[in-house]
Structure 1
Amino acid sequence: MKRNKSFRYYIILLIITLTSFSNSFARELSDQSEVSLLTCSPGEELYSLFGHSGLRFKDPKNNMDIVFNYGTFDFNTPNFYVKFARGKLKYKLAAADFERYKKAYIYEKRGIIEQKLNLDLASKRKLFAAILENYKPENRFYHYDFLFDNCSTRIRDIIEKNTKGKITYPENKNTPKTFWNLLDHFMQKSRWIYLGIHLILGTPCDIEATPYEYMFLPDNMMHAFADAKIINKDSAVPLVSSTNTILKETLILETTVWYQRPIFIFGIIAILGLIASLFYYRKKKNLFVIDYLLYGASGLLGWIIIFLWFFTDHQATGPNLNILWAIPIHFPLTLIFLARKNIYSYYYFLIMSILLLIVIGCWYFIPQSLPNAILPFVVLLLIRFLYISKKLKFKLAQ
């Protein structure tokens, strides 16, 4: 009986909470209202590695304190992983009570910096009305783009469209930066994530970004807002009226230790592969099991690059010049030619050797930031191509 009463109590409490939350949406912002940009520090997971942004509406008179953010998606979406991989998964605008929002970041040991926006009441009300229009079920979903349309740029855009006057940002007096320059700062500690991102993203990240485009990253948008101004006909006021640290970051992101870094591991593998190749060459024996693994892996990576480049909506995944060494036809053609060992096999491995030699020689001149950590692996591919072509040439000469 007590359990039933307790259950009914929580149900009633939940209904009251949801009702009050819903009713707060229906009210117009009062003269006590505040609008703030929340910038959240990076987390441990890949999706949180670059930080996050939220838009807070606080109105004590209406008993409202809500945070909106554009960085959520529905795991129950049909074919979730297929749509995610193809860039067709729609992200959505979500709303949460501020205290609930804050608790999530306390749990993750991440920081939150609040910048109160210096908006007049008319702009606050217009902005709130626009965000509520966006929040309608038929409007809240959008096609996320990592570089150009994400949880930060959406907030920037809706603020600009609904603020009286024009928002201007300071000129960038620093050295121009590419998208890679902006991203690499957040990936320096996790070297495997650094490698993975550099393998799947292509030449669009090597383009020089404009200062306005810097704001696809939450931290950069926070810094841009700090020095931005609202320009009206006869006045110019700061966009941010005050800055407050709501939560201090306590999370310490671990740096990948040297012996676990990809360049060290691939370096060891390359050295062992070279030693094994020399040993088996002198013994006049083959070690094709290594080649099945090497060329199978590089070929599969090549097909992934092709898929992300041509068959998805991601703008940053193609063109991708990693395909110059991760050649898709390695899987299955290389495996087939390994088995046949004829004149065609010889010329195939010889041509691939020359191609890889050119790629390695031009590694630092290719117009894309190819990851150095994978270079020992590519060198090992070349060693094995040379080994096999030499063996086939000797066999065919007999």
Structure 2
Amino acid sequence: MGVTLLSAVRPAQAYNTPWGKGLSRPEDLVISLATFSPGDQIPQWFGHTALVVEDRRYNTARLYNYGMFSFGDGMLMNFAMGRLLFWVAPAPVAPTYQFYIAEDRDVRVIELNLPPEARAEVAAFLADNVRPENRQYLYHHYDDNCATRVRDIIDKAVGGQFKEAFSHDDALTLRGHTRRHSQHLKPMDWLLMFLMNNEIDRPIAVWDAMFLPEVLEEAVLDFEYVDAEGNTQPLVLRTHQVFKSSRAPTPEAPATHWPFWLGVGVLLGALSALLGWRAQRHPERRGPRVAFGLYLGAFAGLFGLVGTGLFVMAAMTDHTVTYWNLNLLLANPLTLLGAFVALRVAFGSEGSRRGLRLIWRALASLAILGLLVQLVGLIWPAIFQNMLLPLALLLPWVLGSAAGVELACKPTERTQSEA
């Protein structure tokens, strides 16, 4: 579903195809599925797919790309608000393949074994779908993307048998499939898992997993359907590997990263507690207090910004995958407030110490509540959200930081009360 910025054919050529003008004979048409393996950029991590229509009598071919979008017309704001418009466009086949080859990405083509009438219907639909009045659609990463659009076209071509054949449960959730493609970059993998709620933790069918081009390709390779005469036909007529990438293939299952993040969280939390202890031991010295406040402010600012971003997305955008996200118990706008107050304490604001303790007591309570909700979700699937990676990092950090705040701020309060 990798987003592509490839140029489409010129508008004058977009509809100037034999099948677009009704000139193609069904028996001369070839419909193929093109699959492109993942690339380096984040939108390319999930791969890409397209349909190719060829008329062998007219020696004409077009690749129909459902991954088109524009950086203009408020694209960034629309993306932030969850209202990103994509569209389908025809593109020349050979230059498109060369684009992916230059990026060292697999180019694999499957010629579909469809009856002539179905080939003609698919070609006519695509020719009509690229018209300006028809081409746009509201993109959704899991429910409506380049792969699901192609999947639905194939399903219609075989009378709905494709969906029926893959209605059984998939071994992974949407979260698991996402992590297969994001796990190679741990920070981004963690961030994606933090931002998404339990919508991606529900059981899914293999059909739903076809939001991934490679899952769609595997399903096509395995599929047989019953034709109009009652005969069983393989959907694949022939395959062709146009280019083989030197990249490692996508893992079949997500990696176990929580021990890594737990180690990082324990380290960050322990260091916070240690710095708070040093500030307590040396209340007369400015250095330990500043070190603790700056350290706490830096990480609370980082995680607070992430949590506040999630809060804004959940409250104000159409990104439904962020709604009612339990990870807000671990990092939220209160975390960001805790960062500002920590910096005030670092630079000598005695009056902010009590407020800092109250904030971090609240944050620690919320984090513990997050752990409890996760445990309850294990026995009550309706509320389950896989919080493992966020919990592994943030729970020990929050608890360690709260302990550090108690240590660093308590002496001054005692001294003030005695005075």
Give the C-alpha shift of residue 371 in structure 1: 4.7
Q: Distance in 2 between matches of 1:237 and 1:376?
A: 51
Paired position in structure 2 for 1:9: none
In structure 2, the CA distance between the partners of 1:353 and 1:307, relative to structure 1 (3 Å rule), is closer
1:317 aligns to 2:316 (yes or no): no
Q: Distance in 2 between matches of 1:344 and 1:45?
A: 43
Paired position in structure 2 for 1:12: none
Question: Secondary structure, in 3 states, of the residue corresponding to 1:216?
Answer: coil
| 5+ long unaligned stretches in structure 2 | 1-8, 378-383
| Deviations, residues 335-386 of structure 1 (Å, cap 9, x unaligned) | 3485533655544433333333444576666532225377345423322222
In structure 2, the CA distance between the partners of 1:106 and 1:344, relative to structure 1 (3 Å rule), is closer
Q: Identify which range, 123-132 or 338-347, moves more after superposition.
A: 338-347
User: Within 5 Å, which residues of 2 pair with 1:111-122?
Assistant: 111-122=106-117
Which residue of the other structure, out of 399, 403, 410, is the alignment partner of 1:382? 399
Q: Identify which range, 210-219 or 17-26, moves more after superposition.
A: 17-26
In structure 2, the CA distance between the partners of 1:353 and 1:368, relative to structure 1 (3 Å rule), is same
| Deviations, residues 179-199 of structure 1 (Å, cap 9, x unaligned) | 112222222322222112112
Paired position in structure 2 for 1:202: 197
Q: Identify which range, 28-37 or 40-49, moves more after superposition.
A: 28-37
1:64 aligns to 2:60 (yes or no): yes
In structure 2, the CA distance between the partners of 1:344 and 1:275, relative to structure 1 (3 Å rule), is closer
User: Within 5 Å, which residues of 2 pair with 1:1-398?
Assistant: 22-24=15-17, 25-30=20-25, 31-76=27-72, 78-163=73-158, 166-167=161-162, 170=165, 176-232=171-227, 234-252=230-248, 269-284=268-283, 285-286=288-289, 287-332=292-337, 335-336=340-341, 339=349, 340-341=351-352, 345-360=356-371, 367-372=384-389, 375-397=392-414, 398=417
Q: Quick check: 1:226–1:239 contact (8 Å CA) kept in 2?
A: yes
Q: Distance in 2 between matches of 1:242 and 1:134?
A: 26
Amino acid at match of 1:245: Q
TM-score normalised by the chain length of structure 1 = 0.84
Q: Distance in 2 between matches of 1:344 and 1:57?
A: 66
| Deviations, residues 222-266 of structure 1 (Å, cap 9, x unaligned) | 11112223334523322222222122122358999x9xx867666
Q: Identify which range, 388-397 or 133-142, moves more after superposition.
A: 388-397
Q: Quick check: 2:198–2:325 contact (8 Å CA) kept in 1?
A: yes
Q: Distance in 1 between matches of 2:374 and 2:74?
A: 38
Q: Quick check: 1:89–1:143 contact (8 Å CA) kept in 2?
A: yes
Q: Distance in 2 between matches of 1:218 and 1:111?
A: 12
Q: Identify which range, 20-29 or 116-125, moves more after superposition.
A: 20-29
Q: Distance in 1 between matches of 2:282 and 2:165?
A: 68
In structure 2, the CA distance between the partners of 1:91 and 1:42, relative to structure 1 (3 Å rule), is same
Q: Quick check: 2:170–2:203 contact (8 Å CA) kept in 1?
A: no
Q: Identify which range, 213-222 or 22-31, moves more after superposition.
A: 22-31
Q: Distance in 1 between matches of 2:99 and 2:33?
A: 17
Q: Quick check: 2:357–2:402 contact (8 Å CA) kept in 1?
A: no
Q: Distance in 2 between matches of 1:279 and 1:253?
A: 49
Q: Identify which range, 372-381 or 189-198, moves more after superposition.
A: 372-381
Q: Distance in 2 between matches of 1:333 and 1:191?
A: 26
Amino acid at match of 1:356: A
Give the C-alpha shift of residue 46 in structure 1: 0.6
Amino acid at match of 2:293: F
Give the C-alpha shift of residue 54 in structure 1: 0.5
**Identity over aligned pairs, percent:** 22
In structure 2, the CA distance between the partners of 1:283 and 1:377, relative to structure 1 (3 Å rule), is farther
CA RMSD, 1 decimal: 3.1
In structure 2, the CA distance between the partners of 1:390 and 1:208, relative to structure 1 (3 Å rule), is same
Q: Distance in 2 between matches of 1:288 and 1:300?
A: 17
Amino acid at match of 1:355: L
Q: Identify which range, 56-65 or 270-279, moves more after superposition.
A: 270-279
Q: Distance in 2 between matches of 1:374 and 1:355?
A: 12
| 5+ long unaligned stretches in structure 1 | 1-15
Q: Distance in 2 between matches of 1:266 and 1:253?
A: 30
Amino acid at match of 1:89: L
In structure 2, the CA distance between the partners of 1:221 and 1:91, relative to structure 1 (3 Å rule), is same
Amino acid at match of 2:278: F
Paired position in structure 2 for 1:5: none
Q: Quick check: 2:280–2:409 contact (8 Å CA) kept in 1?
A: no
| Deviations, residues 78-120 of structure 1 (Å, cap 9, x unaligned) | 2221111111120110211110111101111101221111111
TM-score normalised by the chain length of structure 2 = 0.80
| Deviations, residues 95-154 of structure 1 (Å, cap 9, x unaligned) | 111101111011111012211111111111111111122101111111000111110111
Q: Distance in 1 between matches of 2:282 and 2:115?
A: 82
Q: Quick check: 1:167–1:231 contact (8 Å CA) kept in 2?
A: no
Q: Quick check: 2:107–2:244 contact (8 Å CA) kept in 1?
A: yes
Count of residue correspondences: 379
